[in-house]
Amino acid sequence: EAQVTQNPRYLITVTGKKLTVTCSQNMNHEYMSWYRQDPGLGLRQIYYSMNVEVTDKGDVPEGYKVSRKEKRNFPLILESPSPNQTSLYFCASSLSPSDEQYFGPGTRLTVT
């Protein structure tokens, strides 16, 4: 089954404790991206990747890092999480930015 998976689905952590949210797709997609969703603000793109080792900033990259060492994986790293990063996070993949985006199920992160 074609899908995008994210782990963990729920995470509660404390300020400053490094964490990684994993994202994996099995569709051989070139383009992958991360979004955060906050009430009333829609989805805002954090980072995107055009291919392996090619990443770039989206609209809200501050406080986040990403890597793309393999085509299928695109982890999101929070080196020092803060409470304002409490949000619902989505990973997505597609053949290209102008193709249909396939979204993961979301990761709900709470930073206390």
Window 80-109: contact mask with another protein (x via CB under 8 A): --------x-x-x----xx-xxxxxxx-x-
Q: Least distance from C-beta 51 to another protein, angstroms?
A: 11
Concatenating the DSSP letter of every residue in 32-89 gives EEEEEEETTTEEEEEEEEEETTEEEE-S--TT-EE--SSTTB--EEESS--GGG-EEE
Q: How far is CA 1 from CA 5, 21, 25, 26, 86, in A?
A: 11, 22, 10, 8, 31
Window 46-75: contact mask with another protein (x via CB under 8 A): --x-x-----x-xx----------------
Where along the sequence are the contacts to another protein (CB under 8 A)?
4, 31, 33, 35, 37, 40-45, 48, 50, 56, 58-59, 88, 90, 92, 97-98, 100-106, 108
